[in-house]
Structure 1
Amino acid sequence: MRIWIVETGLQGVTNQCMGLARAIATRIPSEIVIVRKTIRSKRIRPLINWALNHGFIGSSRNDLLSRILEYLLYRGTTLRLEKPDVVITALARSEYTAALFGGQQGAFTIHIGWPLNLPASRFDFLALIAEENVDTGCTPHVKLPIYPTPVLRRDIDSMSTKNLADQKRRWAVLIGGDGAGYRYTKTDWDQIASGLTQLATRLDARLLVTTSRRTGNDTERRLSSAFPASVFEQAVWYGSNPEAVISTYLAKCELVFCTADSRSMVADAIAAGRPVYAIDHPDAAKDAIHQKFLAIHEQTQRLRAIDVGRLGQIDVDADLLHHFKPLPSCWSEEFLEALFKTDFPRRFLTDSTSYRVDQRH
């Protein structure tokens, strides 16, 4: 099976699409491709709607007129010779691209969240977040407890079994940067390093630290000098030596400290079933979506928001015993169960396609 993820220009959103693709790949062997294709201008949306509605463009069309129209209306990779089986998209900016390759005779289209510019009927399946209250009509859908993420519980559990004999206390520290209404000062970073050092020293824990694309080299240098080497088990400074270690850290750690600016990293930690401390800032100008995301997961006790200046005062053991209630299972279980109740299996599971039933996804 060939799965296309439509690039939206936002890494966090692309990660959500990758999460759905990876979940499907646990059932059906798949090739996952990120496609960079966008409409040329928002002003031509009515023209694209007209062309889609009248069948002048779309996966079922491969004549000269449809190719010319596609070239005029869209820019980016076409890959027409490698027709996708499944197209996954999110956010309004990529809805039209998914619709181009979808349709009754085209690819199976999956949209994360509620479509903003096209009717839900344009898509074969919607992956909504639990707090989205919309009328989906006849469009098959599922409501997930958290944003999809490339972190799947089956992978984390598989890696975790290798560490059962090692009883060292480890905490993952996932560090983002400015964004989503957060603006960090040098004092903030010093407080983060100081507070986590106090906690780790007091409870004899070791830190698994990674920064991200948004952290910046100056902040990384400040943090690397502010933390004493004695509290590190591993540190990845993404700006100077990038390495994908989040899944490895989540498999090894007892709990997670994550700067609250990064929804994707917080979602990774929650999806892995780990208790999460979201390092928050009282002065952050969070947008409504971000604020709602944090509030919902704090209410359900999947995370606890802690002000940046109070890290050293946390009673970790009491919180682990009485406060945290991690997700009992991976979001992918609900997604796959709902997806395979649609016509998806009929369209893609043939006599030559093996259907791997695995409850660890």
Structure 2
Amino acid sequence: MTKLKVLILSDGVPGHVSQARGLVDWLSTRYELVCVEQTVALRVRSLSRLLLPYMLRINRVGPHIGTVFYDSGMLGSETTRPDLIVSAGGNTSFLNVALARKWSVPNIFLGSGRRLHSSEFSAHLTLEPTGQSHNIVMDLVPTATNPSEPAENGGALRDRLQLKNRQPLYSLVVGGDGAGYSFDETTWSQIGGLVEGLSKRDNCRWLVTTSRRTGCAGEQLLKKALPVSVLADSVWWSESPRKVMNSYLDASDAVFVTADSMTMISEAIASRKPTTVLKPADGKPPERHHKALEQFELAGYCKLWTLGAVMPSLPANANIDNHARDLLLSRLEQQIPSLLRHSLASSAR
């Protein structure tokens, strides 16, 4: 059986890259594959976003799109022809379509298509239906662990932190302004109050990591609000970034994550730990983001909690199994029959 050759187009945005890699990880459970990842950057974004949807629609984007509209030294070579193209993030969508046409190969895209119709892709994966052909609605966003993160597992982290008698350990994963949510001094204070209140109630310690989105000002306000005595370990991204998500989630008995990042929420859910999503009270998220969070809660993946409300009880362990993954892969096989040629199951028969 020949291996499925997959090309990931990456825009370098961690959340987008994680989704594309996550889907490839899911694919690897069913197909034997080899993956190449290419980072690309859209030139003159505002002009390119305006021109490319129209040019693709009238079929005027040729094989030189990679050199004209994108900064990349690889694209356009016939020697790199894959069996499948995968990408996430709107800035990769145009190149995804153009290369799929050039090479006559199927393509999968995750997220908003930047004014492109879902039918431009062999499969367009979203959390909310687009109402267009070739759209597949995901139950859960695939995410990948970061291969560049340290291999320290949760048990090793607990030992290094010298936690006593299996003391409960909670993670706080913090983003910042985005997806219709904003974080001001009051919001950071409410998060600090939640951490302090749960520490007293549950006798827990905390692992805290901020992110690029938090910003220096947000970190300073959060530091001011957090009781230092309850912190087992912390990462302040603007001061000294460390990629600790894998080990923090593995070590945690429960996870609290801010509502602004779908990728961080999906990673928390994928850890199978009790996950609580923290929403600022005055948030105005886009409808599709709001509905996705509601669907996650309805499915038992997480609990939604509005900052400032009565202190939450811990939810049950994230109620996920392989159903979401297997359902999506089966839908992809129906949409892209050529995948079946690379199925591990077919090779075993």
Bucket of the pairwise TM-score, normalised by the shorter protein: 0.7 to 0.9
Paired-residue identity, %: 22
DSSP 3-state at the match of 1:30? strand
Partner of 2:138: 144
Unaligned stretches of 5+ in structure 1? Answer: 59-66, 350-354
Q: Counterpart of 1:64?
A: none
Q: Which residue of 2 aligns with 1:23?
A: 26
Give the 5 Å matches for 1:281-320.
281-310=280-309, 313-316=311-314, 319-320=315-316
Q: Which residue of 1 aligns with 2:15?
A: 12
How far did 1:164 drift?
11
Q: How does 1:16-95 map to 2 (within 5 A)?
A: 16-25=19-28, 27-37=32-42, 41=48, 42-43=50-51, 45-51=53-59, 57-58=62-63, 67=64, 71-72=67-68, 74-79=69-74, 80-81=76-77, 83-85=80-82, 86-90=84-88, 92-95=90-93
Deviations 1:119-178 (A, max 9, x none): 54432333343x416342xx4x643212222249xx9xx956879998442111001112
**Partners of 2:155 and 2:251 within 8 A in 1:** no
Q: Is the 8 A contact 2:235 2:241 kept in 1?
A: yes
What is the aligned counterpart of 1:103 among 101, 104, 114? 101
For 2:41 and 2:154, the matched residues in 1 are separated by 35
Which residue pairs with 1:62 in the alignment?
Answer: none
Shift of 1:198: 2.0
Deviation at 1:269? Answer: 1.1
Distance 1:146 1:126 in 2: 14
Task: State the superposition RMSD in angstroms.
Answer: 3.5
Distance 1:185 1:31, change over 3 A: same
Give unpaired runs (5+ residues) of structure 2.
160-164
Relative distance call for 1:99 and 1:10 in structure 2 (3 A) is same
Distance in 2 (alpha carbons) for counterparts of 1:116 and 1:326: 33
Q: TM-score w.r.t. structure 1 length?
A: 0.75
Deviation at 1:231, TM superposition (A): 1.4
Question: Judging changes above 3 Å, is the alpha-carbon distance between structure 1 residues 274 and 179 closer, same or farther for their aligned structure 2 residues?
Answer: same
Could you tell me how far apart the structure 1 residues matched to 2:207 and 2:103 are?
48
How far is 1:278 from its partner?
Answer: 1.5
TM-score (norm 2): 0.77
Do the aligned partners of 2:257 and 2:265 also contact (CA within 8 Å) in 1? yes
Per-residue Cα deviation, 1:276-299 (whole angstroms, up to 9, x for no partner): 211122212222222222222223
Deviations 1:77-127 (A, max 9, x none): 151346252322345543321122113744431122475644544323333
Q: Which amino acid letter does the alignment assign opposite residue 253 of structure 1?
A: S
The alignment status of 1:343 with 2:338, answered yes or no, reads: yes
* Number of the residue aligned with 2:187: 188
Please state if 1:327 is matched with 2:331. no
Letter in 2 for 1:4: I
Task: Report if the CA contact (8 A) 2:273-2:318 is conserved.
Answer: no
